Homo-oligomer: A and B are copies of this chain.
């Protein structure tokens, strides 16, 4: 069921989730970005039902995240290759990883993000590209952009936000 509210129509978070907002789609993209391309590889990695996998792959092709490519003529067989738009999803996967491992003791780690060259662990943090300041140190908030219509303006209204903050403590 897609989000139907008018404010959601103009929210980029909701728009992104329209495309990749279920765990299967993101897990398929995780594998595709790691070079897996074939139906039976996704099936084995994910423990997903074949008909569910077919539907998700078709949706991801339609969304421009995977491209079909024929890898065998006889029998005709297709594989699925991540597009450049898909590669831009890496920060989403890295953020989900960072949230998942937060608070884990080093010895308890089952998966670690590393620099392929040095082998050193990478601790990913978000910063503002211009100033280099970590986002946790900035009071960052979402505001209405120039093309915003009334529903999302109302949702992002600064005065209403202050009121909510007082209420929610």
Contact = CB atoms under 8 A, between A and B. Distances in A.
17 contacts: A1-B24, A3-B24, A5-B47, A8-B27, A12-B110, A14-B23, A35-B164, A94-B126, A110-B147, A110-B148, A110-B152, A111-B148, A116-B140, A117-B139, A123-B129, A124-B129, A124-B135
Interface in A91-110: 91-102, 104, 106-110
A92 B99 contact: yes
Contacts of A167: 35, 37
B47 A3 contact: yes
Nearest to A7: B45
Interface of chain A: mostly helix, strand, loop or mixed: mixed
Contact of A96 (B16, B46, B120): B16
A112 interface: yes
Contacts of A149: 110
